[in-house]
Amino acid sequence: MSQALDEIKIGGLGASRKRVEDNRFIRGRGNYTDDIALPGMLHMEILRSPLAHARIKSIDASRAWDIPGVHLVLTGEMMATRNLAWMPTLSYDTQAVLATDKVRFQGQEVACVIADDPYIAKDACEAIEVEYEPLPVIVNPEQAVAEGAPVIRDDKDNQRDNVIYDWEVGDAAGTERAFAQADVISKLRLHYPRSHPSPIECCGSIADFNRATSKLTVYMTTQAPHIIRAAVALVAELPEHMIRIISPDIGGGFGNKVPVYPGYVCSILASILLERPVKWIEDKTGNLISTGFARDIYLDGEMALRQDGKILAVRMRCDADHGAFFSDAQPSKFKIGLLHSAFAAYDIPVAHLAARGTYSNKAPGGVAYRCSFRVTEAMFFQERMMQAAADDLGLDQAEFRRMNFVKDADFPHRTPFGFLTDSGQYAKCLDVGLKAIGYEDFRREQAEARKRGRLLGLGISTMTEPLGAGNSREYDILGIKMFDSAELKVHMTGKAIVRTGARTQGQGHETTWAQIVSHELGIPAEDVVVEEGDTDTAPFGMGTYASRSTPVAGAAVAMVARKIRAKARRLAAHLLEVSEEDVEWELGRFYVRSAPDRGVTIQECAMAAYSNMPDGMEPGLENTAYYDPPNLTWPFAVYIVTVEVDPETGVWDVLKLVAVDDCGVRINPMIVEGQIMGGLTEAYAMANMQFITFDAEGNCVGSNYMDYLLPTAWETPGFELHSEVVTPCPHHPIGAKGIGECAAVGGPAAYVNAVMDALSGTGVRNIDMPLLPDRVWEAITYRRDVSGAPPVRSDD
Ligand code: MCN
Ligand code: CUN
């Protein structure tokens, strides 16, 4: 007779538990960096460059110093005397903290003022006189490599041009041979425009250096507090145990809050110099103009095809515009992130990718935007290429994909670029999606509508994303291996606290980690509190990005709970006066195998750990687990969109969107759905309206919410989500795969493919995102491709 608990009732795995963090968020009781006020706190503002490329002839800050209430003016020259004018980036480059020699992008940090309040600091910034000598500006890779282009990074000894790297992966010769066998070669060139994560909360920090204790505490908006602590220790040469990084509530990160920004560094130095807390809170334009952007990549590729639809090989080239400093946060081995995860879901024998990265006079990049290291670009190119190839062969879009999918029985599968995928049911996801969208009926309706001049289109996109870096064999950042951790303390009354090295920014870890503990130990989720983001209390971890939290930190939570259960079993045997081998486990309770009525609850075991442990047993019930995943997790999704395009205006509307996501076991189905809807919304924004571009002088167009559009509930289409396909991850302790970015990764191509499908037969092969009405109209009217992010002329 079982007395096992009902897992859903106690908020375990699979429960759509309401998010506990929302209790404080929706009541306005969150505690964000800007909510924190420390006694004696000063305020910092940053003076930014108005020009994209210019030599600095002089900086005169004397008028700023004279303003009452100003405590400190920091310039590059002063930073240089402390060896802090430049800092290392996460990609083995250097980045200016405050400009000394030149400014290299519009919005670059030139000086900082620390004053009694932010208004005085802002006024004082305006009183700083900087004399610039303008230099020619580079805003795209073509200009970067042109004959006679000015060298942007002339600060670097061996840098004679604007090329950062030439990198390749795959089998060039084998790909060449496969192309020689092809019946048809399909080609596509496209630009994935620069986009910006644009979290509602901007970046900021409060540095608090206490001379008496020698302790530096920094409250800051970071997705990876432990990495920041290591960076501060190494760059500022402060002892690591005297640095405490606290990441309070975060109002969205989306990758924007991974890199180290000059504002953080300056606030820290200012606090050390002034021995007072110094707060820096970025404004919206500062955030859009200077912090980590995403994409800005030109992709060019070919597919070798057999007439019957079999893909023989793929060749990809890309030109990536990294801005003025190569600051991407990504595994060190891979210069262009995991772009080579492209085509992982398709059974393709051989492929080759060549990538070139160049500098430009634009803000430097970050970890990207809702994307596991450039997977978004990979999947976008993949699915646009699949559409183009199917069209070239005259094959049905769905059928062409299905025939080339990796089959369920073929896992583990080695992708053409060397990744090992381990599980999935690709065709099943596609079938669910096609049925839900009413594929056959729509095709008929589309043909009918065509006759009456109406343009309907259907776009399919699939994605598989490598989520959960490491394993530590292949994934490191600046030599620090990528793994994660969890610490679980069960108190004597059976209540618990779990801490991880990850950092939630809205994803709901406070809710879901408790559910994992609940699943493993039978402790009700409401009895488990989750804490993250304080380096003095959380175990070391690499932080939250690349949807790695569930795959890595979440796995660590399960593993540490199992350690606790193992000890609790010994306590149970002691309490039940039987040998450990005679003890059985069911959710929340140990019992005697031969007498199931005799049992003890996990809570009773917890009490015993503090009050009645067997002789020789270490007291207490707490432990830590570090988890180094054997592989990435590989979620899969199919997104299908139908649209109607108005040929008169180029405006397009989504008729229906169907999403079929397989992220393995779902810890909290409601949170997973929220993640998918958020991703589909961001994907819609990228496809439809979002654009940070630059004019020929390097002026950033898109530095405010009038130019850089965020979709509201008004323009965002409705989504139909399907969760019936579940392929547990074979190596994750609870079978979960990551989900945080999937829809933002796979979504854009679905929208674009739908519009392109509506235009089929017009000879238009590509319109680059965003598919603004004027671009679509131009394509329809002139029957031509609309490509690239041309410099917008400032006199236009
Ligand atoms: N989850 C689940 N079952 C699964 C997988 C995940 O219930 N099989 C839950 C997780 O427990 C977690 C959430 O879904 O609560 C997302 O989990 P995961 O896929 O592990 O992603 P991370 O927690 O690592 O979040 C990072 C990811 C990234 S990289 C970006 S960018 C992004 C995203 O999450 N930024 C976000 N979603 C965001 N959502 C919000 N609200 N704010 C951001 O800044
Ligand atoms: Cu790439 S954006 Mo998320 O990985 O923080």
pLDDT digits (tens, 9 = 90+) for 3-55: 679 999 999 999 999 999 999 999 999 999 999 999 999 999 999 999 999 99
256 CA distance to ligand 2 centroid (A)? 7
For 408-434, write each residue's pLDDT tens digit: 999 999 999 999 999 999 999 999 999
Ligand 1 closest atom vs CA 511? 15
How far, in Å, is the centroid of ligand 1 from the Cα of 355? 29
How do residues 467-476 score in pLDDT, each as one tens digit? 999 899 999 9
Confidence of residue 367 (pLDDT cuts 50, 70, 90): confident
- Across residues 611-624, what is the average pLDDT? 97
pLDDT of residue 796: 43
Which ligand does the CA of 293 lie closest to? 2
pLDDT tens per residue across span 120-153: 999 999 999 999 999 999 999 999 999 999 999 9
User: What is the pLDDT at residue 236?
Assistant: 81
Phi, psi at 300, each rounded to 5°: -140, 125
pLDDT tens, position by position, 144-166: 999 999 999 999 999 999 999 99
Strand partners, 499: 487, 531
Look up residue 171 and give its amino acid: D
How large a percentage of the chain has pLDDT more than 90? 96
Indicate whether residue 370 lines ligand 2 (CB < 6 A).
Answer: yes
The pLDDT score that the predictor gives to residue 506 is 96
Q: What is the pTM of this model?
A: 0.97
Q: Identify the residues whose C-beta falls under 6 Å from ligand 1.
A: 199, 252-255, 370, 505-509, 512, 544-550, 554, 663-668, 671-672, 675, 678, 736-741
HSE at residue 204, side-chain half, CA atoms within 13 A, is 26
Q: How far apart, in Å, are the Cα atoms of 747 and each of 370, 371, 571, 577, 612?
A: 12, 12, 50, 58, 56
Residue 682 has pLDDT above 70, yes or no: yes
Ligand 2 binding pocket includes 298 (Cβ within 6 Å): no
| 128 CA from centroid of ligand 2 (Å) | 36
**Looking at residues 558-563, what average pLDDT do you find?**
98
pLDDT at residue 160, as a whole number: 96
Read off the pLDDT of each residue in 678-697 and give the average, rounded to a whole number: 95
Q: What is the mean pLDDT of residues 349-356?
A: 98
* Per-residue model confidence (pLDDT) at position 691: 86
| pLDDT attached to residue 143 | 96
Q: How far is the CA of 509 from the centre of ligand 1 (A)?
A: 8
DSSP state of 101: S
Contacts of 692 (CB under 8 A, 6+ apart): 193, 194, 195, 196, 288, 293, 700, 701, 702, 703, 708
**What percent of the chain clears pLDDT 70, i.e. is strictly above it?**
99
Which residue has its alpha carbon closest to ligand 1 atom 32? 254
pLDDT computed for residue 790 by the predictor: 57
Pocket of ligand 2 contains residue 255 by CB under 6 Å: yes
Query: Mean of the per-residue pLDDT values for the chain?
Result: 96
Alpha carbon of 80 to ligand 1 centroid (Å):
39
| CA distance from start to end of the chain | 79
CA of 603 to the centre of ligand 2 (A): 38
Query: Strand 652-662 to strand 693-694: parallel, antiparallel, or no bridges (unpaired)?
Result: unpaired
Whether residue 660 has pLDDT greater than 90 = yes
Tell whether ligand 2 has an atom less than 6 A from the beta carbon of residue 369: yes
By mean pLDDT, which of 189-193, 367-371, 733-737 is the weakest?
367-371
Pocket of ligand 2 contains residue 375 by CB under 6 Å: no
Closest listed ligand to the CA of 257: 2
Beta bridge partners of 293: 365
Whole-number pLDDT of residue 234: 87
Check the CA dihedral 687-691-695-698 and report its sign. Answer: negative
- With a 6 Å cutoff on the Cβ, whether 254 touches ligand 2 is yes
Confidence of residue 546 (pLDDT cuts 50, 70, 90): very high
Q: Known catalytic residues?
A: 223, 370-371, 741
Q: Which protein residue has the closest C-alpha to ligand 1 atom 36?
A: 254
pLDDT, residue 791, reads: 56
Whether residue 795 is predicted with pLDDT greater than 80 in this model: the reply is: no
Q: How many other CB atoms sit within 10 Å of the CB of residue 174?
A: 15
**Confidence class of residue 2 from pLDDT cuts 50, 70 and 90?**
low
Q: What is the pLDDT of residue 338?
A: 96
Give CA–CA dist 63/77, Å, rounded.
17
How distant, in Å, are the alpha carbons of 378, 515, 727 from that of 16?
32, 10, 19
